[in-house]
A = this chain, B = another copy of it.
Amino acid sequence: MTSTTTSTASDPRGIPRGTADPTGPIPVPAAGAPRLDVDAVAEALLGDWAELRRAARERARSSALHRPLDATVAEHRARVFEQLQTLADARVSLPMLPESLGGPNDNGGNVASFEELVLADPSLQIKAGVQWGLFTSAILQLGTEEHHRAWIPDAMSLALPGAFAMTEIGHGSDVQSLATTATYDEATEEWVIHTPFRAAWKDYLGNAAIHARAATVFARLITRGVDHGVHCFFVPVRDADGELLPGVRSEDDGPKGGLNGIDNGRLAFDHVRVPRTNLLNRYGDVAPDGTYSSPIDSPGRRFFTMIGTLVQGRVSLDGSAIRASQLALHIAITYASQRRQFTAASPTEETVLLDYQSHLARLLPKLAATYAGAFAHEELLHAFDDVFSGRGDTPEAREDLETLAAALKPTSTRLALDTIQECREACGGAGFMAENRLVGLHQDLDVYATFEGDNTILLQLVAKRLLTDYRQELRSIDRAGIGRFIAQRADTLARRHTPWHRLVQTATDAGRAERSSQSLRDAEFQEALLADRARVKVEEVALALRPAGRQSPADAAALVNKHQIEMLDAARAHADLLRWRAFTAAIERFEDEGTRAVLTDLRDLFGLSLVQADLAWFLLDGMLSAQRGRQVAAEVRRLLWRLRPHALDLVAAFDLAPEHVRAPIALGGEARRQEEAAAYFRAQRASTDSPLSEKVLRDAAKEAAREEARRAAKR
């Protein structure tokens, strides 16, 4: 529908400005311009486990699985428990089981399918994660055959709901310092599980407040007077009627900021006895006489091997954070393409929100980062599947997988929270209504930044790994070589810090804005910038920390602490680089030229937004001249407008059904209202008795008076 009427601002019938044709054309790519092949991109985003994802999304369309908008904590919990039973009955977690337990051992597919639950209700996703991803998985990964036979069938069918009792009130991030004890009693061949003080209560455990019948409890294994560190024990906590077993205590965590469909709570044990064989003994066992044995000699490595099985949670949070970002962007970009406010470019027609530069700047860089995150997640999922299927299960592959997950989980959950909040605010008052989903998504995803490894702690792990790699690289050079290498790097760094060096670069760039702008959009140049940044940030920290080796532990710790901000920064730069590379590699796999062109613009927006956000660093480090630095913001703005016509295609490729979206503002409600308003004003204009505007009359009267004055002057 295109209106042919004239300006309403100058329409003396007083029709409010800008409501003339609210259903005007939505910008689409011009004929002949590159255009996204939406189906091909959708398929690529579904990735290699597309079939399982499709089935999971089909399930997520059912209203029976959807998040309620107004429920008490108790109601929401009861509802989610029922939903979980539905999933158990449909055997949705079967892919996680190895062949020996009747499953296909499809770990990647299992996680892929699990991630899609976030579209139904994040509470359901996390409740399923607690039951199968943590509780069942602990039995599977840390236990042995007998444990699998004894408990896994019931855990899978939900006949045995369980809690994963690791975190204590006093220790969340520092698992090695947990204080719950499991002391072996040779006389009865039992473990005595005990909570020595209040801070050692297990806390924040999903299923613990109500539903758990058992728990996989992490406790210090003590036998024959020796503390062998943290191990995992299977401990029944409630009877068939849901009553707590003797010696077990539980408290309810009560209402939370979100995820209120999950009954988080606390557990404590007062000398609770379980059989010797309840130790999940894959990585450490105790003979009836109390002799401890382990296939892993070093207590440290043993601990980290056990903890390493938790990586699955991080992998799945990375994926569901990206999915939640996609949903939020679908809602906000759809609404912004329909919602109009204020007349700007046209006197007759109000402008759609997405045609405002600041609105594009709020949403499109997040869209670009979400695309990058989706492609990077697919790589993470493959790395995870390789290790957990056993195909590529080497210590090095495990370590790489853990570093990759530790880099991506914190940065994608950060992206999700920032994106959802930006989308919520970009939708104004409508964004605050629960029915439009954005507030609920933020509430539920909020704790994704904390659980399965606090974001700061994970980034620190990444930084430590990067520093270790860097030092090993140095070590691999011979003695004479090291001297040369360090001298050379120091020289490079020093040169970057001299103004003369920058000046030369600037002079070289001078007067070639066009070429300089070209090079910013050059993939190799972006890669060089981002890779150099990631490397130099590690290098700089490594150089700064060199004295630590010769210092007392306290001084060394203080020195490390004085560079913590830079360490976290280096880890983020590393994650940025991984995502940029994953995005770039994904583009290479498309054959359609239009798709490649649009996605390359989007990748450039991602890359240059990263450069822009850290521009001062690039300038001070001498990697970008002032001349080029000044081009960055301009280039980002150009990309926003270039991508504008593709915005709806880019969210369409997320392939979300109306039952996934559910937000009325993104399902045509806004467009319908505008059509009705437009029809009303058309009828008004056609009528002769609609009111005239005082302002227009006054302006006309003034003009007439001026005209009269002019005529009088002539006479």
Contact = CB atoms under 8 A, between A and B. Distances in A.
Interface of A: 13-14, 16-19, 69-73, 167, 169-174, 176-179, 183, 196-200, 203-204, 220, 222, 225-229, 253-258, 292, 298-300, 341-342, 344-347, 350, 355-358, 361, 417, 421, 424-425, 428-429, 431-435, 438-440, 442-443, 446-447, 449-451, 454-456, 497, 499-500, 502-503, 506-507, 553-554, 557-558, 560-565, 568, 612, 615-616, 619-620, 625-627, 629-630, 637, 672-674, 676-677, 679-680, 689, 691-695, 697-698
**Do most interface residues of chain A lie in helix, strand or loop, or is the interface mixed?**
helix
Nearest to A560: B344
A432 B264 CA distance: 11
Contacts of A225: 689, 691-692
Contacts of A169: 673
A357 B563 CA distance: 8
A431 B455 CA distance: 14
Nearest to A443: B443
Contacts of A361: 565
Stoichiometry (number of copies): 2
Nearest to A362: B456
B434 A254 contact: yes
Nearest to A510: B499
B17 A176 contact: yes
A562 B357 contact: yes
Given A345-B554, A692-B225, A443 B447 contact: no
A178 B198 CA distance: 59
B694 A226 contact: yes
Given A345-B558, A620-B619, A677 B200 contact: yes
A553 B346 CA distance: 8
A18 B174 contact: yes
A177 B16 contact: yes
A507 B499 CA distance: 8
A694 B197 contact: no
Given A170-B674, A433-B254, A227 B691 contact: yes
A662 to B, nearest CB: 13
Contact of A72 (B70, B176, B292): B70
Most buried by B among A70, A358, A689: A358
A70 B70 contact: no
Given A428-B450, A499-B626, 10 more contacts: A16-B178, A71-B72, A72-B72, A174-B341, A199-B674, A257-B434, A344-B557, A502-B626, A616-B619, A619-B619
Contact of A357 (B174, B204, B428, B565): B565
A366 to B, nearest CB: 15
B560 A424 contact: no
Contacts of A625: 499
B257 A424 contact: yes
A265 to B, nearest CB: 11
Given A341-B173, A345-B554, A226 B456 contact: no
10 pairs of A and B residues whose beta carbons are closest in the complex: A257-B439, A14-B227, A615-B616, A255-B434, A199-B673, A357-B564, A616-B616, A70-B255, A227-B691, A16-B177
12 contacts: A169-B673, A204-B429, A225-B689, A298-B698, A344-B557, A346-B554, A358-B565, A425-B455, A499-B625, A615-B616, A616-B629, A620-B630
Contacts of A198: 672-673, 676-677
Contacts of A676: 197-199
Residue in A70, A170, A447, A568 with the greatest tally of chain B CB atoms within 10 Å: A170
Contact of A170 (B203, B454, B677): B677
A619 to B, nearest CB: 5
A182 B319 CA distance: 53
Residue among A350, A417, A439 facing the most chain B CB atoms (10 A cut-off): A439
Contacts of A16: 176-179, 220
Contact of A299 (B258, B456, B695): B695
Nearest to A7: B553
A693 B637 CA distance: 60
B203 A257 contact: no
Nearest to A616: B615
B342 A173 contact: yes
Contact of A431 (B73, B255, B450, B615): B450
A178 B171 CA distance: 56
A428 B254 contact: no
Given A73-B70, A619-B626, A691 B229 contact: no
Contact of A429 (B203, B342, B439): B203
Nearest to A414: B425
A525 B422 CA distance: 34
Contacts of A356: 561, 564
Nearest to A431: B450
Contacts of A630: 497, 620
Contacts of A456: 358
B299 A69 contact: no
Contacts of A200: 677
B693 A227 contact: yes
A208 to B, nearest CB: 13
Contacts of A19: 170, 177, 179
A317 to B, nearest CB: 14
A621 to B, nearest CB: 10
Contacts of A565: 357-358, 361, 637
Nearest to A15: B227
Nearest to A345: B557
Contacts of A674: 170, 199
Contacts of A196: 680
A607 to B, nearest CB: 16
Contacts of A421: 417, 421
Given A616-B629, A680-B196, A434 B342 contact: no
A294 to B, nearest CB: 9
B432 A692 contact: no
B695 A344 contact: no
A345 B257 contact: no
Contacts of A425: 449-450, 455
Given A358-B565, A677-B199, A698 B299 contact: yes
A434 to B, nearest CB: 4
A520 to B, nearest CB: 14
A70 B226 contact: no
Contacts of A500: 503
